[in-house]
Amino acid sequence: MSLKSTPEHLMSNAQNYGNDPAVSWKEDGEWVTLNWSQYHDYTMDVAKSLIAMGFREGENLAIYSYNRVEWFSAYIAANCCGGAASGIYQTSSPEEVKWVVTASDSRFIFVGNNPLDGGDPSKMCSTRLLSVLDECGDIEAVILMNGIDMDHPKAISWADFMAKGSGVPDSEVTDRIGRIQASDTASLIWTSGTTGRSKGCVLSHGNFDVEIDAIHEIERFGPGQGYISYLPASHIFEQVAAGRMHIHDAMHMSICASPLQAIDYAKEAHPSLMIGVPRIWESVYSNLKATLDEKAVIRIGLKLPVLGGVLRNVIKKKVGLDQCVWAITGAAAIDPEVLKLMHYLDIPLYEGYGMSEQCCGVTIGSPRFGHKYGSVGKCFVGEIRIDQPDENGEGEIQSRGPNVMSGYYNEPELTAEAFTADGWLKTGDLGRLDEEGFLYITGRIKELLNNQSGELIPPIPTETDCKALPIVGQCVLVGDNRKYCTALITLDVAAILRDRFGLDGATQVPKNPVEQVTKLNELGAELSDFTESEEVRAEIQAHIDVINKNHKSPARIRKFTILPRDLSIDYNELTPTLKLKRPVVSSNWADEIEAMYADA
């Protein structure tokens, strides 16, 4: 296939849109912006320094940090040099870092920051890497991003690194760019590992090109249109949007200093494209719904022809989505009520489905091709099928096409297990297709609960319904090899601050969960006042009594426990993209689970 690689798009942008804004971020509260000419030169300088240090065509490097301009430049510079990048989530433990660095055969690693470290050195990327660096035998250089310190002979400052390439001519880089083939590896995406160790999905330049071309059939963006980068750059969602499409479409990308500041940044940058996991959209929904529930005049005004349009624009501007033409949610199930409210307010939020192995999305709802609530849209790239569907049309979702990975890096046995004999990727997800081709996700094979009667129970539908109650933060259904289902429930402290103490959810409630608890304490309350409250328990029980009617008897919640804290990445209960690690949750809260089955 013919290919114009991402580095070639970057070169074209410098020539055609040189003075247009390319990348912006904040330093000391003020915006800093590089235009396309500057961003191209900056990335070329990173590439030249890598070449000067001996980075070879066809090899990999690692990037361990949250999103920064250095992250994206290093990522594309690896491609400019004819190599590939392996992103490592900023919240990864030392053991996970060692695994990815070693398994990816990286000799160079870029190290940045974890904005959620709270000043705790043990949570800093540099500290975590340092603790295992001498066990990563292949690492030759640790390249420290601006402001990062590490005392180790292999560590090199950003300034010293950038000086390395001063004697390398541009032609050294452009020659390598010219040799890029569609089949060459562009990125190793390490699965977040909800059930085991992460695996490196080998994605080629061709995979990314096919994915972006398919997206362009739905929506194409252009110079100056905005994108907010806040999902971890190591995630496939962000690598397609921020790492690739941002450059292919010459968009203006604003990089968040923290994932907790996404909506705050949106209010300033007014993106045309906004991508998020359900918890982000659920937070926006919760605040909007609270406002509408409290203010009847707004609810009435929204129903009036002229005033309704004015109010919708005001509401969209309040959350920074007044210029958004396409908003996407994925990576986990979302309550359809969230989508319904967003569409009622003319916020174009659509649900999609995909995985790292598929180079991001394979189905999507969109303004152009339509949607159905509860569905994750229609297939827009490659093919999908339902394998061995049951009487309800449900079976494993499988896919194939030029967007699908070639396999897992250096894992031939796992690669073979991932595909059927006739070449279809086994997603491990359960779903069904309706007569119009809309896909509905009904569960995940590895997450099905098998009760003592041998009935298979998909936990997600019950959990999603439970989380529709604003005060509920997380719900984890338990019932594997049990007589009945129970649930572990956490409380949403942001909702408590908003609904119990009257704080404005958008402006007065802290984004950081730790700061939310601190705010609660400042108001004279403890989280235990609510987790141990009979009133709160009764409220949740009443909600469960209602939602249980929507589910078959085996999937109903018979008992529940309110946990004393939220689930956390720090306790390894959530992946960096906030997916549940069910085995870890079950282990961490084993005593609470057993207590619910004491009389079973």
pLDDT digits (tens, 9 = 90+) for 112-143: 999 999 899 999 999 999 999 999 978 999 99
Q: Look at residue 435 and tell me whether its pLDDT is greater than 80.
A: yes
pLDDT at 194: 54
Note the pTM of the prediction, 2 decimals: 0.90
pLDDT digits (tens, 9 = 90+) for 236-283: 999 999 999 999 999 999 999 999 899 999 999 999 999 998 888 988
Q: How confident is the model at residue 369 (pLDDT cuts 50, 70, 90)?
A: confident
pLDDT digits (tens, 9 = 90+) for 288-345: 888 888 888 888 888 888 888 899 999 999 899 999 999 999 888 888 999 999 999 9
Angle at 551 between CA 547 and CA 553, to 5 degrees: 115
Q: How confident is the model at residue 181 (pLDDT cuts 50, 70, 90)?
A: very high
- Mean of pLDDT values over 550-570: 94
pLDDT at 367: 84
Residue 507 contacts by C-beta under 8 Å, 6 or more apart in sequence?
A: none
- d(CA 397, CA 387) in angstroms, rounded, equals 6
CA 195 vs. chain centroid, Å, equals 17
- d(CA 188, CA 194) in angstroms, rounded, equals 18
pLDDT digits (tens, 9 = 90+) for 514-535: 999 999 999 999 999 999 999 9
- Mean of pLDDT values over 83-102: 95
Residue 10: both structure tokens together: 């970057």
pLDDT at 331: 82
- Mean of pLDDT values over 220-236: 95
pLDDT at 7: 98
Beta strand extents in 175-308 (DSSP E only):
185-190, 200-204, 226-229, 252-255, 273-276
pLDDT at 279: 85
For every residue of 120-159, DSSP letters joined together read: -GGGSHHHHHHHHGGG-TT--EEEEPTT----STTEE-HH
Residue 514's identity, in one-letter code, is V
Paired sense of beta strands 439-444 and 425-433, if any: antiparallel
pLDDT digits (tens, 9 = 90+) for 441-500: 988 888 889 898 888 898 988 999 999 999 999 999 999 999 999 999 999 999 999 999
- What distances in angstroms separate CA 552 from CA 457, 484, 557, 597, one per listed residue? 9, 12, 10, 20
Nearest by Cα to 165 from 304, 3, 53: 53
Residue 39: both structure tokens together: 């961003």
- Beta sheet of 395-400, edge-to-edge order: 383-387, 395-400, 425-433, 439-444
pLDDT at 465: 93
Q: Look at residue 149 and tell me whether its pLDDT is greater than 80.
A: yes
Q: How confident is the model at residue 553 (pLDDT cuts 50, 70, 90)?
A: very high
- Mean of pLDDT values over 217-229: 95
Beta strand extents in 232-279 (DSSP E only):
252-255, 273-276
Q: Look at residue 370 and tell me whether its pLDDT is greater than 70.
A: yes
Q: How confident is the model at residue 25 (pLDDT cuts 50, 70, 90)?
A: very high
Q: How confident is the model at residue 562 (pLDDT cuts 50, 70, 90)?
A: very high
Residue 390: both structure tokens together: 């049951």
Q: Look at residue 195 and tell me whether its pLDDT is greater than 60.
A: no
Residue 173: both structure tokens together: 């880089």
Q: How confident is the model at residue 405 (pLDDT cuts 50, 70, 90)?
A: very high
pLDDT at 456: 85
pLDDT at 300: 86
Q: How confident is the model at residue 196 (pLDDT cuts 50, 70, 90)?
A: low
- Contact by Cβ (8 Å): 281, 350: no
Q: How confident is the model at residue 1 (pLDDT cuts 50, 70, 90)?
A: low
Nearest by Cα to 190 from 405, 400, 379, 427: 405
Domains annotated on the chain, with CATH: 6-204+232-240 (3.40.50.12780), 277-447 (3.40.50.12780), 449-596 (3.30.300.30)
